[in-house]
Amino acid sequence: MGLKIWIDGKLVDEADAKISVFDHGLLYGDGVFEGIRVYNGKIFELEAHIDRLYKSAKAIRLAVPMSRDKLIGSVKETVQANNVVGGYVRLVVTRGAGTLGLNPFVCENSTVFIIADNIQLYPEEFYENGMKVISATTVRNHPLALPPQVKSLNYLNNILAKIEALDGNVAEAIMYNHEGYVAEATGDNVFIVKDGVIYTPPVEAGALSGITRAVVIRLAGQENLQVVERNLTKFDLYVCDEFFLTGTAAEVIGVVEIDGRVVGEGKPGPITRLLRKEFYSYAHGKEK
């Protein structure tokens, strides 16, 4: 049996889940989305994701054609219809069908669709042994071109950096902004540890305001670990004691090498391991 896809107010069979070739989400990447995890049948941080979706939409003057409560209910309905116990939800709002011109206001009705399915995770050995990354030459979009807080359908900037990573036989690449400061990885937020203090780039540097990032910062505080948001340079990444990434799919994953330089002792460090453990417990409903 195929998936049940929620699209514009109802669940349909996967084969019938279609949008117009004139949809501006397809033609111009004009839309917003959220990727949301499901753990033990429970949707992780759903309200935070819905809040971010509405903020992204407002920033690009895109009307979400349903109430917040109705959208939350529709996400839950889609997860239940597909019997997703541990998986992933992709929630998308596009500008809708219009003309071949750029004018978004000719699109009369925005399109909403929801997919609930399994998720491709990093291999388990990455979590045990850490992963290698490279620095991308693709520069993160200027924050005045598109605010980094907007999780838009136009991901070409990240995709070009991802191609660099794959060409370098690694899973992730670190992106820097126009000033040379660390922004984010292609799909994850960046954290480092130096002398027992955790550092992460501020959103203004070009980082998405990650939901997992916020949870990890909160969990670190509960462990009496200091977290500082500040601009980081490539040098900071080269000489840090620990290095980890956070994201909906990645959760918390250690980085043990960047641009051929070994991070710390070449294995996920104690703070990385602690935060991964705490995140796992929190996500699976085992709060202290």
The one-letter amino acid code at 245 reads L
Type and span of the H or E element at 167: helix 156-167
In the residue annotation, 267 being an active-site residue is answered as no
Rounded distance between C-alpha atoms, residue 276 and residue 74, angstroms: 30
Type and span of the H or E element at 273: helix 270-283
Query: Is residue 123 classed exposed, middle or buried when 0-12, 13-18 and 19+ CB atoms within 10 A define those classes?
Result: exposed
Across-strand partners of 165? none
Residue 57 DSSP code: H
Query: Is residue 168 classed exposed, middle or buried when 0-12, 13-18 and 19+ CB atoms within 10 A define those classes?
Result: middle
Answer for the pair 115, 35: CB distance below 8 angstroms, yes or no.
Answer: no
Tokens of 252: 């918390």
* Gyration radius from the chain CA atoms: 19
Three-state DSSP at 92 gives strand
Answer for the pair 151, 128: CB distance below 8 angstroms, yes or no.
Answer: no
Distance of CA 34 to the CA centre of its chain: 8
Q: Which of 4, 132, 151, 162 does the annotation list as catalytic? A: 151
Type and span of the H or E element at 256: strand 251-258
Place of tokens 């598109």: 146
Answer for the pair 264, 195: CB distance below 8 angstroms, yes or no.
Answer: no
Residues with a catalytic annotation lie at: 151
